Amino acid sequence: MFKSLDGRSVIVTGATRGIGKGIARVFARSGTRVLMVGREEEAARRAVDELSAEGEVSYVLGDVSRRKDCELIAATAIDRHGGIDVLCANAGIYPAQRVSEMTDEGIDEVFGVNLRGCILSVQACLPALERSGHGRVILTSSITGPFTGFPGWSHYGATKAGQLGFMRTAAIELARSGITVNAVLPGNIVTEGLEGLGESYAASMAAAIPLGKLGTVEDIGYAALFLATDEASFITGHSLVVDGGQVLPESPAAMEGP
């Protein structure tokens, strides 16, 4: 039904753990060649070791908030894979800081990685995505910001909503180059970080989700994979919420059952 993505060149930023590693795993299994990006070498090496049984993966170190690093990431993918077909701009951070406590450094860090980093990584990959003739950009945004709020994450939410603002105009600008730009919006997803918070914390979060469970990193990977297919070529400038229905209840009463 769907045409194979075999051999396509894919970059996943923030792929050394969490959602990015899940996206990389799903793309590797689908036969693409995946370049995984993160800042810490040990974590990158471990992630590549873990996924290498699933497909063709390698890593490059880089900080997406730096233009030179983004240029190096793009050049590495071109060097190793001969081009770039798909960019999953996923790297993101979410240190909690209430509005009353936010520092200049805290604001700059979150905006630098999540928003500036997203734009810089897209910019660096543009010429190669255009050459591919079917370029795909998939941003990892969040339900936090575009749909919901959570104390401590006002700056984070602003960057995740900001990514969607960037996406809409970029989608128009890049459409005639055959490049689509879309976003996945994860709800609460089980990552290594969340696992450390314990089962009762995870259970309390799951109680707020109509499907009654947290998402997996692969759930996000499959959504990204769909947006990367040839069959999704007429979808651009849109976002796909992957949250088990979390944004739907109007009030806690909606979760009490029929």
* Active-site residue (options: 94, 156, 201, 222): 156
- CB under 6 A: which stretch of 14-22, 204-212, 221-229, 232-240 binds ligand NAP? 14-22
What are the CA-CA distances from residue 135 to residues 96, 140, 179, 230 (Å)? 34, 17, 4, 10
With H, G, I as helix, E, B as strand and everything else as coil, classify residue 88: strand
Task: Give least dist CB 135 to ligand NAP, A.
Answer: 20
* Torsion angles phi and psi, residue 169, rounded to 5: -75, -40
φ, ψ (nearest 5 deg) of residue 49: -60, -45
At residue 102, the 3 state secondary structure works out as coil
Contact call for residue 14 and ligand NAP (CB under 6 A):
yes
| One-character DSSP codes across 170-236 | HHHHHHTTT-EEEEEEE-SB--HHHHTT-HHHHHHHHTTSTTSS-B-HHHHHHHHHHHHSGGGTT--
Sole binder of ligand NAP in the list 8, 9, 13, 179 (CB under 6 A): 13
Sheet holding 136-140, edge to edge: 56-61, 33-38, 9-13, 86-89, 136-140, 180-186, 239-242
Q: How far is the CB of 234 from ligand NAP (least distance, A)?
A: 26
Considering only residues 91 to 110 of the shown chain, the ones binding ligand NAP according to CB under 6 A are 91-94
Largest CA distance in the chain: 57
Taking the complex as a whole, how short is the minimal distance between the CB of residue 164 and ligand NAP, in angstroms? Answer: 12
Please tell me whether residue 30 binds ligand NAP under the rule CB under 6 A: no
Q: Which of residues 183-222 bind ligand NAP (CB under 6 A)?
A: 186, 188-189, 191, 193
Among 30, 38, 153, 219, binds ligand NAP (CB under 6 A): 38
Check binding of 145 to ligand NAP (CB under 6 A): no
From 5, 64, 164, 228, residue interacting with ligand NAP (rule: CB under 6 A): 64
> Is 59 a catalytic site residue?
no
Which of 56, 63, 85, 219: binder of ligand NAP (CB under 6 A)? 63
Query: Which residues here bind ligand NAP, judged by CB under 6 A?
Result: 13-20, 37-40, 43, 62-65, 90-94, 113, 117, 140, 142, 186, 188-189, 191, 193
